[in-house]
Amino acid sequence: MSTDITTSVDPAVRPPASGAWREGDDPGRRLFLDLEGPLRLEVGGELPQVRLAYETWGDLRVDAAGRSNAVLVLHALTGDSHVAGPLGPGHKSPGWWDALIGPGRALDTDHWFVVAPNVVGGCQGTTGPASTGPDGRTWGGRFPFVTVRDSVRAETELADALGVDRWALVVGGSMGGMRALEWAAMEPERVERLLLLASPAAASADQIAWAAPQLAAIRADPGWRGGDYHDLPDGAGPHAGLGVARRIAHLSYRSGYELGTRFGRDPQDGEDPLHGGRYAVESYLDHHAEKLVRRFDAASYVRLTELMNAHDVGRGRGGVAAGLARVTARTIVGGVSSDRIYPLEQQAELAAGIPNAAELRVIDSPYGHDGFLIETGAVAAMVAELLKD
C-alpha cells in the first residue's frame, strides 16, 4: 500500500518557543474563572493564583429535586477544553470529541449543559508553566508538581461558580478518566453518573516506564533550559525533545496491528529508506511530532506526564480497593480491545471495584488506546445508556 501523509503544517515556518495559549492571544470559545485564594497542593505548597480556562455548550437547568443537566467532560494529556467546534482563531485543533457534542448527538446540547475545563498545569488557558506568575515572570521551570486531585479541587470551584451542585455525568478517557475517577472518589455526592474510558485505578510500572524516555528526551534537549524557554524567540524551545516524546507516546497510543496494516514496510512517497529516506510509518510519526510542537508546551507535557504517573485512587485511602469503594455514582467502564498502554485488565479492575459499576464494556477497535477518541459510536452508546433515565 502507498501512504501519503499530508499535513497542514508548513515546515518552513519556525515553530514558536512554546505552542501554549498565552495571555493576549485570541480566546476563541474559552471562558475563564480566577479561583478565590490560593490552590493548596497535595504534595505541599500552593499555587497562589489559578485561572481555569473552560468551554460550555447548552444551558444549565436544575429541576425541583435539585438534579442538574450538567455534564463534565475531562480531556486527556494533550487535549484541552475545546471538545467540540472547528479549528479557528484561538484553537489550533478542531474539537477532539466533536461527534459527541451538539444538537441531536449523544450529549445533546438542546438538553444537556456540557462543561469542559483545561487541566491545572495545562497550556491552553489554565494556569500552567507557560502562564505568568504573581511576580510577573513566566512560571516556566518554577511551576510546582501538581496531581489529579489538585486539578479536581480547582474544578470543584468551577462547579460552584457555575451553580452546579451535582453533575448528571462526569466522563473522561485516559488522563481524563483519571480526573473523572478522582471526582467520583473525592466528591461522591456531586457525581450522579460516571463514564471511565481507557484509564486505570493507578498508573502501573509499565505506564511509568513508557513515560520515562519521553521525559528524558525533553529534558535532554538543549532548548529545555530547565523549563525556562517560553519567552525566547521562535524556534528556541525544546522542540526536538518534545517531538521525540510525542513519537514514543504515539506508538503506545496505537496498535501494532493498525500500524502494520496501514503502513507495512512501505517507503514514504518519493523517498527510499535504503538511501536515507523514510518509511511511511516514520513520516507518520514525524507528522504527529511536528503538529504537537506547534500546539502544545513541553513544560506542560512534563508536568502532566508526572501528574499521570502519580495517579493512584488508593493513595492515602487504604489502597485501591478502598479508593474505588468511595465511588457512589452509577458507573460504566469502557476499555479498548487493542489498547497496549492502558490494557483491559485495568478497566476490569475498575468495573469490579466500583460498587455501582456495570459490567466492563469492551470497544472492539484496531486503533489501540486512541480508540476511545476514534470509536465515537461506541462511546455514544455508553453515554446514552447512562443518561437514558
Rounded to whole angstroms, the Cα distance separating 320 from 224 reads: 36
Of residues 174, 199, 252, 338, which has the active-site annotation?
Answer: 174
Residue entry with cell 496494516: 261
Catalytic residue status for 369: yes
Rounded to whole angstroms, the Cα distance separating 68 from 44 reads: 34
Residue entry with cell 529508506: 273
Best CA proximity match to 124, nearest among 47, 51, 22: 22
Contact partners, residue 333, CB within 8 Å, separation at least 6: 195, 196, 197, 347, 350, 351, 354, 357, 358, 360, 361
Catalytic residue status for 389: no
Best CA proximity match to 174, nearest among 144, 194, 199: 199
Burial (0-12, 13-18, 19+ Cβ within 10 Å), 382: buried
Q: Say if residues 41 and 114 touch (Cβ distance below 8 Å).
A: no
Q: What is the DSSP code (8-state) at residue 201? A: S
Catalytic residue status for 230: no
Pairing of strands 113-117, 70-74: parallel
> Could you give the count of Cα atoms lying within 13 Å of 140 in the half-sphere of its Cβ?
18
Burial (0-12, 13-18, 19+ Cβ within 10 Å), 103: exposed
Rounded to whole angstroms, the Cα distance separating 306 from 193 reads: 28
Rounded to whole angstroms, the Cα distance separating 331 from 328 reads: 8
Of residues 150, 297, 312, 339, which has the active-site annotation?
Answer: 339
Q: Say if residues 246 and 232 touch (Cβ distance below 8 Å).
A: no
| CA 233 to centroid of chain Cα atoms | 28
Residues labelled catalytic? 174, 339, 369
